[in-house]
Amino acid sequence: MTMLNYYIDLSERILAKAKALKDTAAIRKELYYIRISGFESKINNDELKKIFWINIYNSYMLIMANENLQVKKFYKLKRIKFSNTIISLNDIEYGILKNKYSLGFCKLGNPFYSYGIKKLALEKRDNTITGNLNKKILNHIAK
Protein backbone atom coordinates (compact mmCIF):
# COMPACT_ATOMS: atom_id res chain seq x y z
CA MET A 1 0.00 0.00 0.00
CA THR A 2 1.48 3.35 -0.99
CA MET A 3 0.89 6.46 1.02
CA LEU A 4 -0.66 9.42 -0.78
CA ASN A 5 1.75 12.34 -1.20
CA TYR A 6 -0.22 15.52 -0.46
CA TYR A 7 1.95 17.70 -2.70
CA ILE A 8 1.78 15.40 -5.71
CA ASP A 9 -1.98 15.10 -5.17
CA LEU A 10 -2.25 18.91 -4.97
CA SER A 11 -0.37 19.34 -8.26
CA GLU A 12 -2.57 16.71 -9.94
CA ARG A 13 -5.77 18.37 -8.66
CA ILE A 14 -4.67 21.78 -9.98
CA LEU A 15 -3.85 20.24 -13.36
CA ALA A 16 -7.16 18.36 -13.55
CA LYS A 17 -9.17 21.50 -12.77
CA ALA A 18 -7.14 23.58 -15.22
CA LYS A 19 -7.71 20.99 -17.98
CA ALA A 20 -11.44 21.01 -17.21
CA LEU A 21 -11.44 24.84 -17.31
CA LYS A 22 -12.77 24.94 -13.73
CA ASP A 23 -11.97 27.51 -11.06
CA THR A 24 -8.57 26.78 -9.52
CA ALA A 25 -8.42 29.68 -7.04
CA ALA A 26 -8.95 27.62 -3.86
CA ILE A 27 -6.36 25.01 -4.85
CA ARG A 28 -3.89 27.69 -5.91
CA LYS A 29 -4.31 29.23 -2.46
CA GLU A 30 -3.17 25.90 -0.96
CA LEU A 31 -0.09 26.10 -3.18
CA TYR A 32 0.71 29.57 -1.87
CA TYR A 33 0.52 28.51 1.78
CA ILE A 34 2.75 25.44 1.47
CA ARG A 35 5.41 25.33 4.16
CA ILE A 36 8.74 24.76 2.51
CA SER A 37 10.01 22.47 5.29
CA GLY A 38 7.08 20.07 4.82
CA PHE A 39 7.43 20.27 1.06
CA GLU A 40 11.14 19.42 1.14
CA SER A 41 10.57 16.44 3.43
CA LYS A 42 7.91 14.91 1.13
CA ILE A 43 9.23 16.03 -2.28
CA ASN A 44 12.71 14.76 -1.50
CA ASN A 45 14.01 13.29 -4.75
CA ASP A 46 14.29 14.33 -8.38
CA GLU A 47 11.48 12.05 -9.56
CA LEU A 48 8.94 13.59 -7.17
CA LYS A 49 10.21 17.09 -7.95
CA LYS A 50 9.75 16.48 -11.68
CA ILE A 51 6.20 15.19 -11.24
CA PHE A 52 5.20 18.10 -9.00
CA TRP A 53 6.81 20.90 -11.02
CA ILE A 54 5.77 19.59 -14.45
CA ASN A 55 2.17 19.39 -13.19
CA ILE A 56 2.36 22.95 -11.83
CA TYR A 57 3.99 24.24 -15.03
CA ASN A 58 1.36 22.64 -17.26
CA SER A 59 -1.45 23.81 -14.97
CA TYR A 60 -0.33 27.42 -15.19
CA MET A 61 0.15 27.17 -18.95
CA LEU A 62 -3.55 26.26 -19.16
CA ILE A 63 -4.65 28.85 -16.59
CA MET A 64 -2.68 31.67 -18.19
CA ALA A 65 -3.74 30.67 -21.71
CA ASN A 66 -7.27 31.73 -20.80
CA GLU A 67 -6.15 35.16 -19.55
CA ASN A 68 -5.31 36.80 -22.90
CA LEU A 69 -1.68 37.50 -21.98
CA GLN A 70 0.91 38.67 -24.49
CA VAL A 71 3.03 35.76 -25.68
CA LYS A 72 6.24 37.77 -25.13
CA LYS A 73 5.53 38.12 -21.41
CA PHE A 74 3.95 34.71 -20.90
CA TYR A 75 6.99 32.87 -19.52
CA LYS A 76 8.52 35.76 -17.59
CA LEU A 77 5.37 36.87 -15.78
CA LYS A 78 5.65 36.23 -12.04
CA ARG A 79 2.23 34.65 -11.65
CA ILE A 80 2.69 31.39 -9.73
CA LYS A 81 2.26 31.80 -5.99
CA PHE A 82 4.19 29.09 -4.16
CA SER A 83 5.19 28.99 -0.51
CA ASN A 84 4.76 32.74 0.10
CA THR A 85 6.77 33.66 -3.02
CA ILE A 86 5.80 34.39 -6.60
CA ILE A 87 7.58 32.66 -9.48
CA SER A 88 7.29 32.48 -13.26
CA LEU A 89 7.14 29.64 -15.78
CA ASN A 90 10.77 30.46 -16.63
CA ASP A 91 11.70 30.06 -12.95
CA ILE A 92 10.20 26.56 -12.99
CA GLU A 93 11.64 25.51 -16.34
CA TYR A 94 15.14 26.98 -16.10
CA GLY A 95 15.64 27.46 -12.36
CA ILE A 96 14.06 24.29 -10.98
CA LEU A 97 13.81 21.69 -13.74
CA LYS A 98 16.91 22.55 -15.80
CA ASN A 99 19.12 24.06 -13.14
CA LYS A 100 22.41 22.21 -13.68
CA TYR A 101 24.92 23.05 -16.40
CA SER A 102 27.89 20.84 -17.32
CA LEU A 103 31.34 22.28 -17.78
CA GLY A 104 33.55 19.26 -18.21
CA PHE A 105 33.39 17.30 -14.96
CA CYS A 106 31.91 20.22 -13.06
CA LYS A 107 28.13 20.69 -12.61
CA LEU A 108 27.11 24.27 -11.88
CA GLY A 109 23.78 25.70 -10.79
CA ASN A 110 22.37 28.73 -12.54
CA PRO A 111 23.82 31.73 -10.66
CA PHE A 112 20.93 34.01 -11.68
CA TYR A 113 18.28 32.33 -9.57
CA SER A 114 17.52 32.99 -5.92
CA TYR A 115 18.53 30.68 -3.11
CA GLY A 116 14.89 29.58 -2.75
CA ILE A 117 14.65 28.51 -6.40
CA LYS A 118 18.02 26.74 -6.23
CA LYS A 119 16.88 24.86 -3.13
CA LEU A 120 13.87 23.48 -5.04
CA ALA A 121 15.92 22.51 -8.11
CA LEU A 122 16.61 19.01 -9.34
CA GLU A 123 19.92 17.49 -8.29
CA LYS A 124 20.61 16.07 -11.76
CA ARG A 125 19.80 17.72 -15.06
CA ASP A 126 17.28 15.77 -17.13
CA ASN A 127 17.24 16.65 -20.84
CA THR A 128 13.95 14.81 -21.40
CA ILE A 129 11.91 17.32 -19.37
CA THR A 130 11.17 19.70 -22.24
CA GLY A 131 8.96 17.07 -23.89
CA ASN A 132 6.77 17.01 -20.77
CA LEU A 133 6.19 20.77 -20.69
CA ASN A 134 3.02 21.63 -22.54
CA LYS A 135 4.20 24.52 -24.72
CA LYS A 136 1.72 23.62 -27.46
CA ILE A 137 -0.83 25.71 -25.59
CA LEU A 138 0.92 28.85 -26.84
CA ASN A 139 -0.03 27.95 -30.41
CA HIS A 140 -3.64 28.64 -29.48
CA ILE A 141 -2.77 31.96 -27.86
CA ALA A 142 -0.72 33.20 -30.81
CA LYS A 143 -3.60 32.64 -33.25
Tens digits of per-residue pLDDT, 41-68? 999 999 999 999 999 999 999 998 887 7
In this prediction, what percent of the chain has a pLDDT beyond 70?
Answer: 77
Least confident piece of the model among 75-79, 85-89, 101-105, 120-124: 101-105
Structurally, the chain folds into a number of domains equal to: 1
| β-strand pairing of 80-82 with 100-103 | unpaired
Tell me the pLDDT band of 102, cut-offs 50, 70 and 90. Answer: very low
Compute the distance between CA of residue 67 and CA of residue 50 in angstroms, rounded to an integer: 26
Using CA atoms, how far apart are residues 43 and 7, in angstroms rounded to an integer? 7
Contact indicator for 55, 131 with CB cutoff of 8 Å: no
Query: Is residue 1 assigned to a domain?
Result: no
| Structural domain boundaries, residue 89 | 6-142
What is the pTM for the complete model shown?
0.83
Helix, strand or coil, per DSSP, at residue 100: strand
Tally Cβ neighbours within 10 Å of residue 67: 10
Is 107 contained in some domain? Answer: yes
Asked if residue 48 is part of any domain, the answer here is yes
Is 133 part of a structural domain of the chain?
yes
Is 111 inside a domain boundary?
yes
Q: Where are the alpha helices (DSSP H) in the chain?
A: 6-19, 25-32, 36-42, 46-65, 71-74, 89-90, 115-120, 137-142
